[in-house]
Structure 1
Amino acid sequence: MSSVSQRPVSKRSAFRIFYILAIGSGVMRTFSVAFDVVALNTVFSNPIAFGFVSQWVSILVTFFLVLVLSIPRKVDEKKRSLGFSVDPDFGKISLLPRTPMFYILLAGIFAGISTYSYYLLVGSSDASTMLPYGQLVIIYLLLGDLFAEKDTPTVIEIQCIISIMLGVLLVGVTPGGFDIPTLLIVLVPMNLSSGLVTFYQRKTKRYEISPGLRVDSINMRLWTLLFLNITYSIFAIPTIPLEAWGLMVDTFGSAFWFMVGSSLTTFFALVMYVRALGRGTMAVVNSLSSVSVILGIPLTLIGNLFIPGAFGTIDADAFLWTIKIFGVILVMIGVIALEASDVRAIVLVRVKPQTGDILSELYDIKGIQRAAAIAGTYDYLLTIKSRSLAKTRTGILKKVQAIPEVYDVETLVIMKEHR
């Protein structure tokens, strides 16, 4: 992890960096799924066995990549690692402190369960189907926020939940109707575990090792992957048939570069995703990264033009494809509406005389995007984001007013802004 004093002032705004990270993670995720689908349709026929080999290849690739990113270099007479440009919190490969390592352990266990579910499905699906399945996690994150805040959902939140749920159901439709086992895997182990992974990754990324220095996403990825692989192996080894072990040896050379490609794209997808989590809410980050849902359909169609059947079997039934595309549209409407419905506001806070620094205490309040100490009549300026004015008042402002040092709070709702 790098020193706080080594960080340069970014030439890009925090707003732009956040969107680049969140959307970029979705693009990388699309290519990662594509590598897996192509390998299973052209080289490796057993998805669980392929996942077992692919995940252990992935940790070797990730370990080597992190070592390369740890190489020091001099920039403007300052010693920094190559990985500094990927994540400014990264210094070198290292163990994390006890508390974030515990969060990483839990994230890795749930990631192993989610990954096992993913490989159960990816062998019988194409990229355009797998990518919308993953967006169901937004519903769990949204429900988790509501339960944590003991709040009632707004109309737009209910509409988004229904839209995403219906969209995922339509994407999963087959010529024979709905595949119930597939839907159960998508609904419970795959996305419920993904939601818990996101929760613990966000807690890890927001953990302050020292004032101004947080856990870096590169070491997070390495150690999460280790615990993920151990968990996945516990589930996978008993279910891999004996003949599949010989198949692994025979096809390893042919599938190796697909595994490397999947490992690299997954690495950068998750590093960008975790960095985005450190800057925004879980639901918003997942909404922006859902660009992968849009990219899945053209990738499947164009890929099959060049390598027929490699990107999944395309059903010739025009009606079935119309239903799937309509399902993708519903998913996109749900995630975009969730993001577009947010209300932004600026809060000016005045504290009592002879009060110490409460900046970190203000920033830790859920819903506050930025917190800054200012000079003048007021002492602190907060930027908040919520899905309704009522939630802003009950969920955020009451927590600010509950801080004993706070004397006065002034709220200014942003009606229109130009960036």
Structure 2
Amino acid sequence: MSGSSQRPVSGRSTISLFYILAIGAGVMRTFSVGFDIVALNTFASNPIIYGLISQWVSFAITLTLVVILSIKISREGKRRALGYELDPDFGRISLLPSRPMLYLFIAGSFAGISTFFYYILAGSTDASVVLPYGQLVIIYLLIGDLVAEKDTPTIIELQCVVSIMLGVMLVGIEPGGFNVVTLLIVLLPMNVSSAVTTFLQRKTKRYELSEGLRVDSLNMRIWSLLFLNIIMTALSIPFIPPDGMNQIMQSFDAGFWLMVGSSVATFFSLIMYIRALGRGTTAIVNSLSSISVVLGIPMTLIGNFLLPGAFGGIASDSMLWVLKIFGVTLVMMGVIALEASDVRSLVIVNVEPQVGDILPELFAIKGVESVSGLAGKHDYILSIKSRSLSKARTKILHKIQKIPGVKQVNTLVILRDHR
């Protein structure tokens, strides 16, 4: 972890970097799933055994990469780790404090459950189906926010939930109808676990070790992956057959380079995703990274044209493909509409004379994105975001007015953002 005094002055704007990170995470996720699908359709007879080996290979590669990225070099008169370019909070591989380590242990445990079921699904379908399944996590994150805020959903939130749910069901349709077991796996253990993991990753990334210094995404990846692999190993052992060791060696020999490709793609996908979570809301990050849903279909079609059968079977029924494409469209519309429905506002706050600094109290209010102190007739300006004007008033403005010393609050609704 680097010191807070060593922050770079980036040549890229914060907004453009955020978009690059979030979209890049989705693109790399597509490549990662593609490598797994090819392996499971060409040589791996048991998806659980392949997944177990692949995850430990991933840990070895990730550990090697982070050790290399911990090497310090001199640049512009300062010694910085190579990984500083990936995450400015990174200094070297290290143990984290107890609280973020606890977050990562819980996140890694739930990620182990989600990953276990991911390999089961990946062994029986193609990338164009697996990638949309992962978008259901947005529904659980939204439900979690509503429960935490003790709030009722808006019409647009309900529409987005229905759109994503219906889209996922259409994507998963098979020639014989719906696979109930697959849908139950997707709806319950796979995406519920992913939602808990995402929430805790975001919480860990925003944990301040010292002023201006947060937990870095590279150390987060190392430790969460270790806990993930331990849990996945425990879940996999009962399903390994008596000749499992022979299958393990065969899978390792035949698919080593595919595992390496999947591991490297996953490494960069998660690093970019975690960094994006540290810069923006979960809904926006997931909306941008959902580009993987769109890329899944062309990758399946082009991949099977180049390597027949390697990217999963392609249904000959044209109507089935029409339904799948329609389902992907519904998922994308639901995800993007959920992000686009946010109402952004600026709030100008005046306080009573001789009132102390209330910046921490203002920034602690859920929905407040940024707070700045002003010189002149106004004292503070806040940027807030909510699903509707009524929620902004009831959930945010009332909390601001309850802070001792606040005299006047004025709200300016942003009709259009020019960036």
TM-score category (smaller protein): over 0.9
Q: Report matched runs for 1:185-204 at 5 Å.
A: 185-204=185-204
Structure 1 residue 346 displacement after superposition:
1.2
Structure 1 residue 374 displacement after superposition:
2.9
Q: Which moved more, 1:342-351 or 1:170-179?
A: 342-351
C-alpha contact (below 8 Å) 1:165/1:331 kept by paired residues: yes
Matching of residue 362 in structure 1 with residue 362 in structure 2: yes
Matching of residue 318 in structure 1 with residue 318 in structure 2: yes
Structure 1 residue 354 displacement after superposition:
3.8
> Separation in 1 of the partners of 2:403 and 2:272?
34
Runs of 4+ in 1 over 6 A off after TM superposition: none
Structure 1 residue 287 displacement after superposition:
1.5
**Cα displacement string for residues 77-103 of structure 1 (whole angstroms, at most 9, x for unaligned residues):** 112111111111111101111111110
2:54 corresponds to which letter in structure 1? S
Structure 1 residue 159 displacement after superposition:
0.2
Structure 1 residue 211 displacement after superposition:
1.4
Structure 1 residue 333 displacement after superposition:
0.8
C-alpha contact (below 8 Å) 1:103/1:201 kept by paired residues: yes
Equivalent position of 2:297 in the other structure: 297
1:142 corresponds to which letter in structure 2? L
Q: TM-score normalized by structure 1?
A: 0.97
**Cα displacement string for residues 103-140 of structure 1 (whole angstroms, at most 9, x for unaligned residues):** 00110010000001101110001000000000000000
Match of 1:370, SS? strand
Matching of residue 11 in structure 1 with residue 15 in structure 2: no
1:100 corresponds to which letter in structure 2? P
> Separation in 2 of the partners of 1:302 and 1:146?
41
2:370 corresponds to which letter in structure 1? R
**Cα displacement string for residues 241-284 of structure 1 (whole angstroms, at most 9, x for unaligned residues):** 12232022123122111111111111111111111111222222
Matching of residue 349 in structure 1 with residue 376 in structure 2: no
Q: TM-score normalized by structure 2?
A: 0.97
Matching of residue 371 in structure 1 with residue 332 in structure 2: no
> Separation in 1 of the partners of 2:69 and 2:377?
46
2:193 corresponds to which letter in structure 1? S
Structure 1 residue 405 displacement after superposition:
4.2
Equivalent position of 1:268 in the other structure: 268
Q: Percent identity?
A: 65
Describe the shift of the 1:65–1:357 C-alpha distance in structure 2 as closer, same or farther (beyond 3 A): farther
Describe the shift of the 1:351–1:2 C-alpha distance in structure 2 as closer, same or farther (beyond 3 A): farther
C-alpha contact (below 8 Å) 1:221/1:270 kept by paired residues: yes
Matching of residue 229 in structure 1 with residue 226 in structure 2: no
Structure 1 residue 173 displacement after superposition:
0.5
> Separation in 1 of the partners of 2:232 and 2:166?
30
How many matched pairs?
A: 419
> Separation in 1 of the partners of 2:162 and 2:128?
20
Equivalent position of 1:307 in the other structure: 307
Q: Which moved more, 1:243-252 or 1:281-290?
A: 243-252
Q: Which moved more, 1:12-21 or 1:109-118?
A: 12-21
Match of 1:174, SS? coil
Equivalent position of 1:172 in the other structure: 172
Match of 1:242, SS? coil
Where structure 1 has 5 or more consecutive residues not aligned to the other structure, the ranges are none
C-alpha contact (below 8 Å) 1:46/1:244 kept by paired residues: no
Structure 1 residue 355 displacement after superposition:
4.0
2:212 corresponds to which letter in structure 1? G
Matching of residue 101 in structure 1 with residue 101 in structure 2: yes
Q: Which moved more, 1:397-406 or 1:253-262?
A: 397-406
> Separation in 2 of the partners of 1:264 and 1:405?
52
Q: Which moved more, 1:225-234 or 1:206-215?
A: 206-215
> Separation in 2 of the partners of 1:86 and 1:342?
30
Equivalent position of 1:162 in the other structure: 162
Structure 1 residue 206 displacement after superposition:
1.1
Match of 2:410, SS? strand
C-alpha contact (below 8 Å) 1:30/1:296 kept by paired residues: yes
Equivalent position of 1:411 in the other structure: 411
Match of 1:177, SS? coil
> Separation in 2 of the partners of 1:58 and 1:361?
42
Match of 1:411, SS? strand
Describe the shift of the 1:72–1:352 C-alpha distance in structure 2 as closer, same or farther (beyond 3 A): farther
Match of 1:417, SS? coil
Equivalent position of 1:113 in the other structure: 113
2:31 corresponds to which letter in structure 1? F
Describe the shift of the 1:358–1:245 C-alpha distance in structure 2 as closer, same or farther (beyond 3 A): farther
Where structure 2 has 5 or more consecutive residues not aligned to the other structure, the ranges are none
